[in-house]
Amino acid sequence: MSKFINIGDTIEAEHANACVRKLEWKGPRKHPITNECMMLYESNRNSNVEIVKVYAGEIKKGTEHFHRNMGDILEADSISIYVDSTRREKSDVKEGVSARHGAQLIDIRKRSISTIKYPLHNLFKCLGLGSSVDIVKTIK
């Protein structure tokens, strides 16, 4: 039972519980490592995903570094959750989870892979990219 907070940390679970401020359904995507077609959800605020039932199936090539122990938790702002399902998961809204805000609680009862992703605005900064500015000089 461990808590993971670094970018790139990934957990794989048979069943997982997610508590997020806001969850966006992105539709079906191919998982970047396993290449399976899965349903993608993204959270962007104060999120955590916990393994409540351990995945005991085949460990695919490239997924050896995934964490799969009971109670393992991912905690971050930006988490991508891939669910092995063709239907949208339902969530419950619970008020007062933190001192100020409520949250969406999702009980994922299908196999899922959750990863802490790079926030996109950090990528811009990392690559030294900002707003593009066209320079026009007028000579008279």
State the residues that interact with other proteins by CB under 8 A. Answer: 8, 26-30, 32-33, 37, 40, 42, 44, 78, 80, 86, 88, 117-120, 123-124, 126-127, 129, 131-132, 134-140
Q: How far is the CB of 138 from other proteins (least distance, A)?
A: 6
Picking from 117, 90, 118, 116, the residue whose alpha carbon sits closest to that of residue 105 is 90
Q: How far is the CB of 18 from other proteins (least distance, A)?
A: 16
Q: Which C-beta is closer to other proteins: that of 1 or that of 136? A: 136
Q: How many residues does the chain have?
A: 140
C-alpha dihedral (85, 88, 94, 96), degrees to nearest 10:
80
Q: Which C-beta is closer to other proteins: that of 33 or that of 97? A: 33
50 burial level (CB within 10 Å; 0-12, 13-18, 19+): buried
What sign does the dihedral 80-83-84-86 (CA atoms) show? Answer: negative
CA 89 to CA 73: how far, in whole Å?
20
Q: Which C-beta is closer to other proteins: that of 80 or that of 104? A: 80
Q: How far is the CB of 11 from other proteins (least distance, A)?
A: 17
Q: How far is the CB of 78 from other proteins (least distance, A)?
A: 7
Q: Which C-beta is closer to other proteins: that of 8 or that of 71? A: 8
